[in-house]
Amino acid sequence: MPAINTVLTLADLPSPPSGKTGWPWTEETPLLPNKMPDGSECPKISIVTPNYNYGQFIEETIRSVLLQGYPNLEYIVIDGGSTDNSVEIIKKYEPWLTYWVSEPDKGQSHAINKGFVCCTGEIMAWLNSDDCFNERILYKIASIFIQKPETNLITCPVRRITSKGKEITITHTPSTIFKDIFYWSYYMPQAGVFFKKKILDKVGYLDESLQIQMDYDFWFRFAKKTDFLNYQEIAANIKIHPEAKTTSNKYQALSQKEALLVKLRYADEEIKNKILNELVLDRIAYNKLRNSFWIKVLIKLKLL
């Protein structure tokens, strides 16, 4: 992999598309120290971005990583053989990428794992191609890892926004207690999670059989191996749009199915029985509802 200058400014990168302003289009991270606050070298951070036909978003994602101003960055983009303008945009930033490829894959989990294999950094994360990091977050995260060397995984809040950039809400990690994870299908938005490579080597890569809840499964495995540290700094903006898998009606049933499979995979007998009992009660209630007169009328009228 090529060695690249990772301390980039707006002057180094291509000009933004017409009409794009603000971070990370016309604003950049102020010059950062080339060492950590304690005088040590900045640990290498590896970021992986998977992409498939998100050409409308990926340029903002790429710029939000490259313009971090972080002096020891490894950035890897794995494209699944996009048929839109994604590859054109990736090539535009090729000189500043550590590695990129565009070829058919087995889905998002497989793409991320392909990126993980290429990573050589001490700290790792993945950033989907419709999300973007906030300014200076990588330096702040690295500083926490240096200050608290026993820490293996850091979770941060994320801001959920519309595709036009309007804030919807801020999502915080509700808990880091292992049993609590069972009650949160989207337990930790991955754009706000950073972890050490040494802990990844212990828990293994993403489960490629999962299309939606691979990160949920990931956090269960991390929780069995290490404590999490909550850092109250908004790490990234996550776009909520019709094509997003986690919010699309198209993937809702699959998401629920995978969440249940993951829960049962890691549940002890007490929690497993509770989950199964709740499922039985839900099914009984659903069947009673479907047998009601008005539900039959709505179905007949094709309104349900």
pLDDT in tens, 184-211: 555 688 999 999 999 999 999 999 999 9
pTM (2 d.p.):
0.87
Q: What pLDDT is recorded for position 291? A: 56
Buried b (16+ CB within 10 A) or exposed e, 257-284: ebbeebbeebbeeeeeeebeeeeeeeee
User: What are the backbone dihedrals phi and psi of residue 87, each rounded to the nearest 5 degrees, phi first?
Assistant: -65, -40
| Domains in the chain, number | 2
Same domain? For 250 and 276 the reply is: no
Q: Tokens standing for 130?
A: 């419709």
The terminus-to-terminus CA distance of the chain in angstroms comes to 55
Name the packing angle between helices 269-290 and 252-266 (round to 10°). Answer: 150
Q: What pLDDT is recorded for position 120? A: 97
Q: Is residue 40 part of a domain?
A: no
User: Could you list the residue range(s) of the whole structural domain that residue 271 is in?
Assistant: 267-300
Q: Is residue 120 part of a domain?
A: yes
Same domain? For 244 and 101 the reply is: yes
Same domain? For 102 and 222 the reply is: yes
Distance CA 155, CA 219 (A): 11
Sign, Cα dihedral of 178, 179, 180, 181: positive
Distance CA 82, CA 45 (A): 26
Q: Is residue 14 part of a domain?
A: no
Q: Is residue 7 part of a domain?
A: no
Q: Is residue 62 part of a domain?
A: yes
Same domain? For 68 and 163 the reply is: yes
Same domain? For 271 and 253 the reply is: no
Query: Domain containing 157 — which CATH number?
Result: 3.90.550.10
pLDDT in tens, 67-89: 999 999 999 999 999 999 999 99
262-276: average pLDDT: 79
Sign, Cα dihedral of 55, 57, 63, 68: negative
Q: Look-up: residue for tokens 């995979």?
A: 265
Same domain? For 117 and 182 the reply is: yes
Q: Is residue 32 part of a domain?
A: no
Same domain? For 285 and 230 the reply is: no
Q: Is residue 258 part of a domain?
A: yes
Distance CA 230, CA 238 (A): 18
Q: Tokens standing for 272?
A: 């497993």
Same domain? For 64 and 172 the reply is: yes
Same domain? For 115 and 211 the reply is: yes
Enter the DSSP assignment of 217: H
2 pLDDT above the threshold of 60: no
Same domain? For 75 and 178 the reply is: yes
